[in-house]
């Protein structure tokens, strides 16, 4: 995938208007009667991922952990123009993690020859960025 369009990014407080009159959720909901703008959890998730996955980055994989079905991991290799490190012969990665469980989760992460144990709080989305030698 090279991009994503959220067709209904802003809707009214009942999830409309839509062309087929099916009410749905959106990143931003507006209550016009009370002048209230509500940023939904979708908004915060999109904002989080759009900061760590940028145009030109390469998706390396998306997976769940075999014995932890509520834990999801997506890794991207940062494009050279998106890397925070300017040191030659190094590569940056972003590892996005979602823990849908009501309990904290831990798992072992491997990038090439490097290993780390990752601990995630319950119900969280987190990203770690790692810079490794090539």
Based on the domain organization, do 93 and 103 belong to the same domain?
yes
Q: Are residues 37 and 15 in the same domain?
A: yes
In angstroms, rounded to a whole number, what is the distance separating the alpha carbons of residues 26 and 123?
A: 20
Structural domain span for residue 103: 54-133
Q: What pLDDT digit, counting tens, does each position of 50-103 carry? A: 888 888 899 888 888 788 899 999 999 988 765 665 666 778 899 999 999 999
Closest CA to 111 of 87, 99, 128, 88: 128
Asked whether residue 91 falls in the same domain as residue 119, the answer is: yes
Can you tell me the mean pLDDT for 33-45? 91
83 lies in the same domain as 30: no
- Average pLDDT score over residue span 3-25: 81
Number of structural domains in the chain: 2
What does the alpha-carbon distance between residue 102 and residue 70 come to, in Å, rounded to a whole number?
A: 9
Q: Are residues 116 and 73 in the same domain?
A: yes
Q: How confident is the model at residue 123 (pLDDT cuts 50, 70, 90)?
A: very high
Please give the backbone phi and psi of residue 109, each rounded to the nearest 5 degrees, phi first: -105, 135
Q: Rounded to 5 degrees, what angle do the CA atoms 113, 115, 118 make?
A: 155
């Amino acid at each position: 995938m090279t991009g994503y369009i959220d067709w209904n990014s802003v809707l009214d407080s009942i999830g409309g208007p839509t062309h087929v009159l099916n009410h749905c959720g959106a990143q931003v909901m507006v209550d016009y009667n009370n002048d209230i703008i509500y940023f939904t959890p979708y908004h915060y998730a999109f904002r989080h991922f759009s900061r760590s996955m940028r145009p030109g980055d390469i998706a390396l994989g998306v997976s769940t952990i075999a014995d932890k079905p509520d834990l999801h991991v997506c890794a991207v290799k940062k494009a050279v123009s998106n890397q925070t490190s300017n040191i030659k012969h190094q590569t940056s990665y972003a590892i996005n993690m979602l823990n849908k469980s009501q309990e904290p989760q831990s798992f072992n992460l491997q990038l090439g020859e490097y290993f780390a144990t990752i601990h995630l709080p319950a119900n969280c989305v987190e990203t770690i960025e790692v810079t490794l030698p090539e």
